[in-house]
Amino acid sequence: MIALIKESFISIDSYRSETIKYLLNKFTKFQVFPKKLFWNDVSGIVDQDTIHFLSLNKDYKLILCHNLVNDRASSPEHYKMTLPLEGKAFLDEVINYFSLRLEAIPHHLRSQVVIDPAFGFSKNNAQNMFLFKNLSHFTSAFTGDQEFLIGISRKKFLRHFSGISMDELSALDDYQDDLFDQYLPLLCDATGYLRCHRCSLGKNYLA
C-alpha cells in the first residue's frame, strides 16, 4: 500500500481545509507522500490554507473552482448564488473571477493552480451552456502555461438542453460526446485535464 501511494496521483474533493490538513498530517506521520496531490476545492475560496497547501510541495496542485459563495461552509449553497448576466458580460465576469483569485496567490505558486470553470456551480442552465460553447475564449484569456480542468459529465444543464434523463445514461453520454467533438478541438492551445464518465472518450483528447 505504501509503495502504491508513493506512485499515485491522488485527488481529494473537499471544500473543508480541515480535511486536507488531516490527510497531510497522516502523510507526514507515516512518511508516505503521493507522487502528485490535487486538492479539488469547489469552494473557490483563496485563503491562507490554500496558499499553505501550495507552498508545501511543488507537486501539490489546487483545482480552483468558480463558486460565488462567501465562505467554505456555504459551498453546498452555490445554487443560490448566480449572476443576472448573459453572454459576453457573464463570460467576462467569470474570467475576472479567476483573475482576481490568481492575483491573491503568490506568483511562484500560480503554476500549481488548475482552473475549473465548475460547470453546474453558481450558474443557470443557459450560462453553463454558453460558457462551454465559448471555452476557447475563456481559456485564451489566461497565459499559455495555465492548466484547466473541464468536466460536464451528466450535469443538470446537459439534461435540460438534451431532454435526456439520468435513466438514459448512455444517451446522455452520447450527447456529451457530441458537444466535446464540437468544441474541445477549439482548445488546441489549452492544456490540462478532462473529467468524464466514459473513459474511452477521454483517450481521444489526451493529445
Indicate the domain borders of the chain. 2-204
Domain 2-204 has CATH 3.20.20.20: yes
Nearest to 189 by CA among 139, 152, 151, 115: 139
Amino acid at 98: F
- Each residue's pLDDT tens digit, 53-71: 999 999 999 999 999 999 9
Helix (H) or strand (E) holding 192, with range, is strand 191-195
Can you tell me the distance from the alpha carbon of 148 to that of 151, in angstroms, rounded to the nearest whole number? 10
Q: Are 68 and 122 in contact (CB under 8 A)?
A: yes
- Each residue's pLDDT tens digit, 167-207: 999 999 899 888 988 898 888 788 999 887 776 655 555 54
User: Does residue 28 surpass a pLDDT of 50?
Assistant: yes
Cα–Cα distances in angstroms (integers) from residue 193 to residues 38, 50, 70, 79, 184, in the given order: 12, 20, 27, 24, 12
Q: N- to C-terminal Cα distance for the chain?
A: 31
- Each residue's pLDDT tens digit, 127-182: 999 999 999 999 999 988 999 999 998 899 999 999 999 999 999 989 988 898 88
CB atoms within 10 A of CB 180: 21
Q: Which residues pair with 39 in a beta bridge?
A: 12, 62
Q: Are 6 and 33 in contact (CB under 8 A)?
A: yes
